[in-house]
Structure 1
Amino acid sequence: MPASVQKYRDQLENRCLLVKNLKVFPVEAVVRGYITGSAWLEYKKKRSVCDILLPEGLLESQSFEKPLYTPSTKAEIGSHDENIHPDKVVEIVGEKIAHDIAETSVKLYSKASKYAHDKGIIIADTKFEFGADSDGNLFLVDEVLTPDSSRFWLSSNYKVGEKQDSLDKQYLRDYLLSIEFDRKTSIQLPENIVQKVSERYVEIYKLLTGCDPS
């Protein structure tokens, strides 16, 4: 904290944030350790993910030999993110920033994945967002490794070749698909759906942190 703020430490500690004004890049850095979701749908059609050609014979929910960086555009509210080849990121943000985003994302995923694995959790995939300050320094921004930005599976229930039960927002996605939600019209979610999503979020929090949020 700046010196002007430090003198109020006894009043502000754990009650404030130091923020920076950053230019946020219009790219979502998605890292996948397993083939599922939109990646699985594309693979079945074209044997690729983000137009990255993959080996034949992969099964749903199978792990990759190493984490796969599969970025997407960051769409405006009401629009859809679009999966893109990593080369497209170079066109959007430049070669150095694109390289740093890809490298940092994979490192973050790999470290988080190992931590979660020791807790009995598989992080199937996750997304990161980045920005830069006026000097061009890269910063990790937005939420990180939450049930809104990641796909969590229980290691004990994991089976290759089938869809996994997720402790994240996939339950809500599945509900919206079941009612053919148009992604444009505001709706009121049923209380039982809200409750079940909340239960999943609380459960993954407990498993990963060892803490009870209540």
Structure 2
Amino acid sequence: MTDPQTLPGWRHVYSGKVRDLYVPADADGRAAGRMLVVASDRVSAFDHVLSPGIAGKGEILTTLSLWWFDRLAGGDGGRRIPNHLAADHVLDAGGDARSIIPDAVAGRAMVVRGLDMQPVECVVRGYLTGSGWAEYREHGTVCGIRLGGGLGNGDRLPEPIFTPAYKAPLGEHDENITFAQTAELVGAERAAALRDLSLEVYTRAAATAEARGLILADTKFEFGLDEDGILTLADEVLTPDSSRYWDAEAWRTGTTPSERMASFDKQIVRDWLAAAWPGQEGEPPALPAEVVARTTARYRELLERLTA
């Protein structure tokens, strides 16, 4: 992983696989009331950060998050969903961010408010796929939720389901948990609020995607409490790194799972790496230019189709 940039007025405090977090240079640790979240071009698979990165990925992720935050704040005609953007980081009429973001990371960074983050990753599934499909085939359930029979890989669920996960400490894998376990972690009232808000955001976003010929198969959200105790949408939202998007026409007409469920994300990278690095020992191989180019095109196509 490359070292984070030195940014005037900001001090680096944390780096994940994709994002770098900064606080004002004179702030006390991560307890600052304002933070800078920078999305890099890094791409990860199988718990490894790969090389090279996906050119423009950080800007695409940030642009999409800002676009969705704007719509969910009432831009889609629905009620306002509070988000963690600072007051001086908003979208103007032209869609540009006005903020105190350094020029070096302009276009791929957000100034956000500090929140009391909840220890639950709020996953919503509207379609049966991935690990949910594997569990359903074996047990007839998805994350312990019993589903009716006769569903196939990629099928739409009768209704979206909330399948939370416990956010594990850095370096460990998140763990799927039940709603009852969520209530034990955060209390019954807050667990219900997380579930209901997640389902609302998913439903609104899925309708927006559908109007643009896209399927939002599943997604994950993170929430925190602001200084007034209000549940607030945070981190990235509804990006190809946090969501599965499919082409609606391909889903309807495709004859194989790969045709029906070709995602607008880094699945191209995962597929190539699984074949080129089967043992997953040592350092992963460098990504070929062709894989990087195809992945970049998928990310950019999603951005263009959603925001056009």
Tell me the TM-score range normalised by the shorter chain: 0.7 to 0.9
1:132–1:50 distance in 2 versus 1, CA, 3 Å: same
1:170–1:204 distance in 2 versus 1, CA, 3 Å: same
- The match for 1:162 is 257
Unaligned runs of 5+ in 1: 7-12
1:113–1:104 distance in 2 versus 1, CA, 3 Å: same
Unaligned runs of 5+ in 2: 1-86, 89-96, 101-109
Contact 1:73 1:83 in 2 (8 A): yes
CA drift at 1:186: 5.9
TM-score, with structure 2 as normaliser: 0.60
Q: Give yes or no for the alignment of 1:203 onto 2:298.
A: no
Q: Give yes or no for the alignment of 1:19 onto 2:108.
A: no
CA drift at 1:172: 2.5
Q: What is the rounded CA distance, in whole Å, between the counterparts of 1:196 and 1:71 in structure 2?
A: 32
Task: Report 1 or 2 for greater relative contact order, CA contacts < 8 Å, sequence distance ≥ 6.
Answer: 1
- The match for 1:72 is 165
Please tell me the root mean square deviation across aligned C-alpha atoms, in Å.
Answer: 2.3
CA drift at 1:181: 6.5
CA drift at 1:19: 3.1
Q: What is the rounded CA distance, in whole Å, between the counterparts of 2:231 and 2:160 in structure 1?
A: 21
Aligned pair count?
A: 200
- Look up the equivalent residue of 2:264 and give its one-letter code: L
Q: What is the rounded CA distance, in whole Å, between the counterparts of 1:137 and 1:197 in structure 2?
A: 37
Q: What is the rounded CA distance, in whole Å, between the counterparts of 1:31 and 1:91 in structure 2?
A: 20
Quick one: which of 33, 50, 56 aligns to 2:126? Answer: 33
For residues 143-195 of structure 1, the C-alpha deviation after alignment (integer angstroms, 9 at most, x for no partner) is: 00100001010011004873411111222233333333649956533332222
- Look up the equivalent residue of 1:35 and give its one-letter code: L
1:23-102 matched pairs, under 5 angstroms: 23-102=116-195
Q: Judging by fraction of residues, say which structure has more strand.
A: 2
Contact 2:99 2:111 in 1 (8 A): no
